[in-house]
Amino acid sequence: MARVSYIEAGRQAVAEEMRRDPLVWAVGEDLGRGGVFGQYTGLADEFGSDRISDAPISESCILGAAVGAAMTGTRPIVEMRFSDFALCAVDELVNQAAKARYMFGGQTRVPIVVREPIGMWRSSAAQHSQSLEAWYAHIPGLVVAVPSTPADAKGLLKAAIRCDDPVVFMEHKNLWPLEGEVPDGDVVVDFGKARTVREGRDVTIVSWSAAVHTAEEAAKTLSGEGVEADVIDLRTLWPWDKAAVLKSVETTGRLLVVQESVSVAGFGAEVAATVAEALHGVLKAPVRRLGAPRIPISYAPPLEDEVRVTADAVAAAARDLVTRINR
């Protein structure tokens, strides 16, 4: 084990996979100088400009070229800089990359990784703060990964690079400096396998990305009150680990889904509906979701905080679920 940051874990994954497979390469804006956040630092020196490729400011051009390159045998890593900017290339991803394998009857595949930094970060305002993971989970043909720890940032990214299908890899900007233990060696994290963050018998809290840490903080508060929460980190939203969530809720009888993104039509609704349909006879309280209201994210920190899902809010919602049975 080595203790590294979330951003360094991702950088290591890219470097190791590029050394392992000469068909892996990266393209995007500012990669030659290490990337906007430093996630490609030093890679241009090692691999050269052919494999760490700087591109002009045209997301549709970047992704379109990478899709073609993937279909002809290479494995591109596409840096979209911000998930908000990736919307300029949504046709190339959703209508081309996601559908090519199906429309060509399996004669071609699109082994591409689209890295999209997501989430609220340092007053980045409405056009630089969105978490749009639910959009991509809705699209057949796409894999959606949302790592919350340095270990998963590395292990899931390695899995994404080796995957023969297009992967939308969503990294939360606020997690870049987070440090954690990362296993040594070539450790790959499987898609569709949730991580149990904390075990508990009273309420299940399901989350992903940065919201996992909010949920974990809330669970520690609840534990001091005698309420033990089972906290689950989904890791990937498609595929997602239905079995792990259902098994937990069968024990606790209560479910709270926590997400940073807008609650309306968010992926939390999919988790909530799945549990409600499968375990309606087991639930001790109605399923509950916590997410942002359906408004743009403001630049001003006090207004940004108004839409933020806090540990206090998570603890209060979980507390309410647990006490309902006693009423």
Inform me whether the pLDDT recorded for 324 exceeds 80.
Answer: no
State pLDDT tens for residues 149-159: 999 999 999 99
Enumerate residues 6+ apart whose C-beta is below 8 A from 304: 120, 123, 129, 297, 298
Among the listed residues 128, 138, 213, 280, the single catalytic one is 128
Domains of the chain: residue spans and CATH: 2-182 (3.40.50.970), 195-324 (3.40.50.920)
Residue 122 has pLDDT above 90, yes or no: no
Q: What is the mean pLDDT of residues 3-10?
A: 97
Q: Would you call the peptide bond into 239 cis, given omega within 30 degrees of 0 as the criterion?
A: yes
Q: What is the mean pLDDT of residues 171-180?
A: 96
Q: What is the mean pLDDT of residues 197-221?
A: 98
User: Is the confidence at residue 111, as pLDDT, over 70?
Assistant: yes
213 is an active site residue: no
Helix axes 242-252, 267-278, angle to 10 degrees: 60
pLDDT at 327 over 90: no
Distance (Å, rounded) from C-alpha 127 to C-alpha 298? Answer: 9
